[in-house]
Chains A and B, each alone.
Chain A
Amino acid sequence: MRFRAKIVDLACLNHFSRIINTIAKLAKTCILRLTVCKLYFILSDKVANGGASMWCELSQGNFFDEFQMEGVAAEHNEIYLELVPENLSRALKTSQSAKAVKIKLTNKHCPCLRVAVELPSLSSSSRIVTHDIPVGVIPRRMWSDFREPSVPDFDVSIYLPVLKTMKSVVERMKNLSNFIVIEANLSGEMNLKIETDLVSVTTHFKDLGNPPWASEDGCQSSAQGRDLESMTEACIDIKKLQQLLAGQQVNPTKALCNIVHKRIVHFILLHEEVSLQYFIPAIA
Chain B
Amino acid sequence: LSRIGDELYLEPTESGLSLRAVNSSRSGFASFLFAPLFFQLYEPGSAGPETELFRCKVHMKSFLGIFRSLPSLEKSVGKCLILLKPRASRLVLQLHCKYGVTKTHNLAFQECERLQAVFDTQSCASHLCAPARLLAEAVVHFPPTLAEVTLGTGPGGKISLRNYVEDEAEPSKTMVTELWLAEDEFQSVAVAPGSHITFCLKEFRGLLSFAEASNLPLTIHFDEPGRPVIFTLDDTVLEVHLVLATLSDLQSTSQSPSTNGVSRLPVPSDDFADDLESYMVAMETGEGGSERPPSPTFPLRTPRPAQREPQEEEEEEEEGAVPGTPPHKKFRSLFFGSVMTPGRPGAATTQEVLAEDSDGE
Interface residues of A (CB under 8 A from B): 84, 87, 90-91, 94, 102, 104, 106-110, 114, 116, 121-125, 127-134
User: Contact at A121–B175, with CB atoms within 8 Å?
Assistant: no
On chain B, the residues within 8 Å of A130 by CB distance are 177-179
Contact of A124 among B172, B181, B182 (CB under 8 A): B182
Q: How far is the CB of B189 from chain A (nearest CB, A)?
A: 12
Contact of B177 among A102, A104, A123, A129 (CB under 8 A): A129
Contact of A108 among B174, B178, B180, B319 (CB under 8 A): B319
Q: A108-B316, A124-B184 are in contact. Are A129 and B179 (CB under 8 A)?
A: yes
Q: A91-B177, A106-B316, A108-B319 are in contact. Are A127 and B182 (CB under 8 A)?
A: yes
Q: Is B87 an interface residue (CB 8 A)?
A: no
Q: How far is the CB of B84 from chain A (nearest CB, A)?
A: 46
Q: Is B173 an interface residue (CB 8 A)?
A: yes
User: Contact at A104–B180, with CB atoms within 8 Å?
Assistant: no
Tell me the nearest residue of chain A to B156, going by C-beta: A125
Q: How far is the CB of A230 from chain B (nearest CB, A)?
A: 50
Chain A CB within 10 Å, residue with most, of B171, B177, B183, B305:
B177
User: Contact at A104–B185, with CB atoms within 8 Å?
Assistant: no
User: Contact at B185–A110, with CB atoms within 8 Å?
Assistant: no
Contact of A131 among B177, B184, B316, B322 (CB under 8 A): B177
User: Contact at B314–A123, with CB atoms within 8 Å?
Assistant: no
User: Contact at A90–B143, with CB atoms within 8 Å?
Assistant: yes
Q: How far is the CB of A197 from chain B (nearest CB, A)?
A: 39
On chain B, the residues within 8 Å of A106 by CB distance are 314, 316
Q: Across the A-B interface, how many residue pairs have beta carbons closer than 8 Å? A: 68
On chain A, the residues within 8 Å of B174 by CB distance are 134
Task: State in angstroms the CA–CA spacing of A107 and B177 once bound together.
Answer: 16
Task: State in angstroms the CA–CA spacing of A87 and B305 once bound together.
Answer: 23
Task: State in angstroms the CA–CA spacing of A90 and B141 once bound together.
Answer: 8
User: Contact at A121–B319, with CB atoms within 8 Å?
Assistant: no
Q: Is B140 an interface residue (CB 8 A)?
A: yes
User: Contact at B179–A134, with CB atoms within 8 Å?
Assistant: no
Interface residues of B (CB under 8 A from A): 138, 140-141, 143, 171-185, 305, 312, 314, 316, 319, 322
User: Contact at A123–B185, with CB atoms within 8 Å?
Assistant: yes
Tell me the nearest residue of chain B to A130, going by C-beta: B178
User: Contact at A123–B184, with CB atoms within 8 Å?
Assistant: yes
User: Contact at B182–A121, with CB atoms within 8 Å?
Assistant: yes
User: Contact at B177–A127, with CB atoms within 8 Å?
Assistant: no
Task: State in angstroms the CA–CA spacing of A159 and B308 once bound together.
Answer: 54
On chain B, the residues within 8 Å of A125 by CB distance are 182, 184
User: Contact at A110–B141, with CB atoms within 8 Å?
Assistant: no
On chain B, the residues within 8 Å of A84 by CB distance are 175
Contact of B181 among A87, A102, A104, A127 (CB under 8 A): A127
Tell me the nearest residue of chain A to B180, going by C-beta: A128
User: Contact at B185–A121, with CB atoms within 8 Å?
Assistant: yes
User: Contact at A114–B172, with CB atoms within 8 Å?
Assistant: no
Which 9 pairs from chain A and chain B are nearest by CB?
A110-B172, A123-B184, A132-B176, A123-B182, A123-B185, A87-B175, A129-B179, A125-B182, A106-B316
Chain B CB within 10 Å, residue with most, of A91, A104, A108, A116:
A108
Contact of B175 among A91, A108, A124, A127 (CB under 8 A): A91
On chain A, the residues within 8 Å of B314 by CB distance are 102, 104, 106, 114, 116
User: Contact at B185–A122, with CB atoms within 8 Å?
Assistant: yes
Tell me the nearest residue of chain B to A122, going by C-beta: B185
Task: State in angstroms the CA–CA spacing of A122 and B171 once bound together.
Answer: 34
User: Contact at B175–A90, with CB atoms within 8 Å?
Assistant: yes
On chain A, the residues within 8 Å of B171 by CB distance are 109-110, 134
Q: How far is the CB of B346 from chain A (nearest CB, A)?
A: 45
Q: How far is the CB of B166 from chain A (nearest CB, A)?
A: 15
On chain A, the residues within 8 Å of B322 by CB distance are 109
On chain A, the residues within 8 Å of B141 by CB distance are 94, 129
Q: A106-B316, A114-B314 are in contact. Are A133 and B182 (CB under 8 A)?
A: no
**What 7 additional pairs, Cβ within 8 angstroms, besides A90-B143, A121-B185, A131-B176?**
A109-B172, A123-B183, A123-B184, A124-B182, A129-B179, A132-B177, A134-B173
User: Contact at A134–B172, with CB atoms within 8 Å?
Assistant: yes
On chain A, the residues within 8 Å of B316 by CB distance are 104, 106-108
Q: How far is the CB of A130 from chain B (nearest CB, A)?
A: 5
